Structure 1
Amino acid sequence: MHAHSHFAFTGWITQTIFCFLIFFLQKKNNIDVYSRYRWLLIANLISAYGMLISFIIQGYALYSITFSTISIAVLAIFAVYYWRDLNKYEGNTLAAFCCKAALIFAQISSLATFMLAWLMANKFEGQYWYVAAIYFFLHFQYNGWFFFGCLSILFMMIPKENYNSALAKKLCVTLVACCVPAYLLSVINFAIPAYAYAIAAITGVVQGIALVWLLIVMRPALSVFKSGNKWIFKLFAVAVAIKFLLQMFSTIPVLSILAFGSRPIIVGYLHLVLLCIISLFLLAASRNFLNYNSLFKVATVIFIVGIIGNEVVLMGQGLMGFYGIPMSHVIEILLAATIVIFAGILLLNVAMRKITSV
């Protein structure tokens, strides 16, 4: 499980966001910055594959912690390098604002790894502290680094003339301001004080409204995307709306019990963010810069069918379990969905070898 999550976060999401950010900086300003970041991309991949292997073999131990620490150091150095380049080349753009927010949240998320190491080293017995630290890491990775990293890429892709940039800036500022208190939504089922519960509830409503509003504001910007690519961005927008609505509704006690008391729903929610939101966006963004062929189109559909099937089964299992209705052959169905996802990714890799960039 740790190998799966760390490898996906570092080897897929972080590496791809790195590549997009470097690509846009170089393309927009007509400068060669790749040589300065190349060693960071290589180091990040080494840490990703190192975690993949070491976590499988030994779990949390010397080598896995070493490679994990390397990935944290790489992300920190990248943040310093890229922040300087943003100030030098991008100025006070909305893309730069979202990117800086993403880089800050990435560093905040790393604090949880040190907290976990301290808890394990001191053999701390409070289970809630472990869970709180894990949720802290996941929250600021998913809702901070990944989400605002993707938003920055989106704003780098779209000319500000295609949307109401002033309103979009205000909504993004609101979302950034909500990110820290929104962590309380991850631990709302713990015995937190009433005032913290109220902050979580208000934050959930505010960020839900701001996000849906932002999606509406950005709708005209779809015109800059390829016609065969718009449907993926629309799926992405639907998934984002569902995700934030789920967070908002999790403040309702009955739904909170359902959300946090069912492992399939927790895993389904995490996969909703990682696959249906982040991965879909990065795939759609990639397609927008490629002369993709028919195999790439088919592979995209297969991949999306697989992730939707995975979500339906996980959420369905959780809801049926809440009402005491057993769901048969869940493992086999999830295996089938995973095979479909793998087949889509494999075909995407094959198709990429035959694709030329725009």
Structure 2
Amino acid sequence: MFFFTTLVFPKANNRIGNMKKSWLIACFSNFFIAALMGLLLRFLYLTPIDTVNFQFLLHGHSHVAMLGWLYLILYCLLVHFYIPKEQQNNAVLNRLFWITELAVIGMMVRFPVEGYALLSIVFSTLHIFCSYYFSYLIWKKAVFQSDQEKKLVRTALIFMIISTFGVWVLGPAVGMLGKASAFFQIAIQFFLHFQFNGWFLIAVLVLFLSQLSLKIPPAIFGKFYILLLIATVFTLALPVSWYLEDSVFYWINLFGVLLQAVAFYYLIKGVGSEFAVLFQKLPVLEKSIYIFTFGSLAVKIVIQLLTFIPEITVVSHQIRNFVIGFIHLNMLGIITGMVFIILIKIKLLPTHSLFAKTGIILFFASYLITEVILFSKGVFIYFGSPLLSQATPILFAASIGLPLSILCIISSIIKTKQSL
């Protein structure tokens, strides 16, 4: 794979375009491996393989997808948008990227073999320390066009750092209470919640607003920011309620999802009319990507609002199809969708390329089909219906499109002459 050959740590005097293209290909290569792992996981539902540990492979899939794809692509984009051009070929930023990639490869290799064990924990810890240093560099060196960008980027970084507190307590939690304890499970949910809803979502949202030059009016931004901040913290109560039975968590989550809905109302109010003008000028393919991405965001908000119903709160955790579908809704539909929009805007995902166009269409088609199957199957399981009980082969077949689509996108990036 490409990223194995680039671990020689390119020197800082290499041409910036080449170095940044290597970053981007490394990110998509990680995404491709994560997609292959996900495909194998779905194959194991059809034909178990004695030599493959499902849980270990799941750990590898999730770590590579989150830390190898989402984290590192945000690394690339934050550097591109906010680090001055003359500093972007800085040896520190370059070596930090490749050390972080080394940590990802370590997790990619070790988690499927041993799960949470010595070497996988070492590589995970290395990634965390790299993320701390990256946060420091962005905090100190980034140049922002507005206070809004500065506040949102720094908030995203703070949530990323806060999320790692959940990782640090996993060791003591296992030692004192065991992996089956509520404390251990809540620590994992703490990490996932603030990664997805704090770090990933806020970072990609501010990058999206930046690349479209959309600025929220100051009075509206203040309301949006405060509400989003509180909602992000309060909605942690939902996963906590899965392990601690207390009605107070239901009410805290209820308040949080209401605030979240109001926060996005203010966002639409602030940039909606300007965005509508820009949207009308887009080609059909790009309009479709926007519809998929923001449709997924709308579905996410609606699903969270449905947790008003206590029964939904319970089944949202108990029925695995709902859990997987919701995670992929966030990771593939919302965050990756916005990343695609940004890459198209800066011409690194050229929609005139047949490879890129094919990859994008295949990606969203596969994403849509698998999401429909996952959520539909979850609904039928909830109602005790036998319908879709044999949907696993269809789900596996539809999932083949994800790694194929990423291969097409990698091919288009390699062929383009545009640099990041």
Normalising TM by the smaller chain, what interval? Answer: over 0.9
Residue 303 of structure 2: aligned partner: 246
Question: Which of 373, 381, 389 lines up with 1:313 in the alignment?
Answer: 373
Shift of 1:156: 2.2
| Shift in alpha-carbon separation, 1:206–1:330, aligned structure 2, 3 A | same
Matched, 1:347 2:417: no
Q: Structure with the greater relative contact order (CA < 8 A, sep ≥ 6): 1 or 2?
A: 2
| Shift in alpha-carbon separation, 1:149–1:284, aligned structure 2, 3 A | same
Residue 45 of structure 1: aligned partner: 101
Matched, 1:10 2:67: yes
Query: Contact 1:47 / 1:67 at 8 angstroms: preserved in 2?
Result: yes
Amino acid at match of 1:249: L
Query: Contact 2:214 / 2:271 at 8 angstroms: preserved in 1?
Result: no
Residue 65 of structure 1: aligned partner: 121
Residue 89 of structure 2: aligned partner: 34
| Shift in alpha-carbon separation, 1:42–1:30, aligned structure 2, 3 A | closer
Shift of 1:242: 1.1
Q: Which runs of 5+ in 1 are unaligned?
A: none
Residues 28-84 of structure 1, C-alpha deviation per residue, up to 9 Å, x if partnerless? x44323313111111111111110110011111110000000010011111111111
**What is the correspondence of 1:125-204 to structure 2 with a 5 Å cutoff?**
126-160=180-214, 164=217, 166-204=219-257
Matched, 1:264 2:295: no
Shift of 1:125: 6.2
TM-score, normalised to structure 2, is: 0.79
SS for the counterpart of 1:337 is: helix
Q: How many pairs are equivalent?
A: 353
Task: Tell me, in whole angstroms, the C-alpha distance in 2 between the residues paired with 1:234 and 1:222.
Answer: 12
Amino acid at match of 2:110: S
Shift of 1:179: 1.2
TM-score, normalised to structure 1, is: 0.92
Task: Tell me, in whole angstroms, the C-alpha distance in 2 between the residues paired with 1:82 and 1:252.
Answer: 41
Q: Which protein has the bigger helix share?
A: 1
Task: Tell me, in whole angstroms, the C-alpha distance in 2 between the residues paired with 1:58 and 1:190.
Answer: 26
Amino acid at match of 1:195: V
Residues 174-223 of structure 1, C-alpha deviation per residue, up to 9 Å, x if partnerless? 20222112100222344443333322211111112212442353332365
Superposition RMSD on alpha carbons, in Å? 2.0
| Shift in alpha-carbon separation, 1:47–1:223, aligned structure 2, 3 A | farther
Query: Contact 1:189 / 1:260 at 8 angstroms: preserved in 2?
Result: yes
Shift of 1:224: 4.8
SS for the counterpart of 1:342 is: helix
Query: Contact 1:99 / 1:148 at 8 angstroms: preserved in 2?
Result: yes
**What is the correspondence of 1:324-343 to structure 2 with a 5 Å cutoff?**
324-326=384-386, 327-343=388-404
Shift of 1:115: 1.5
SS for the counterpart of 1:90 is: coil
| Shift in alpha-carbon separation, 1:304–1:240, aligned structure 2, 3 A | same
Structure 1 stretches of 4+ with a deviation exceeding 4 A read 222-226
Choose 112-121 or 207-216, whichever is displaced more. Answer: 207-216
Task: Tell me, in whole angstroms, the C-alpha distance in 2 between the residues paired with 1:90 and 1:66.
Answer: 34
Aligned residues with identical type, % of pairs? 25
Q: Which runs of 5+ in 2 are unaligned?
A: 1-57
Choose 174-183 or 163-172, whichever is displaced more. Answer: 163-172
Residue 50 of structure 2: aligned partner: none
Residue 294 of structure 1: aligned partner: 354
Amino acid at match of 2:264: L
Task: Tell me, in whole angstroms, the C-alpha distance in 2 between the residues paired with 1:190 and 1:62.
Answer: 27
Shift of 1:246: 1.1
Shift of 1:165: 5.0
Amino acid at match of 1:186: P
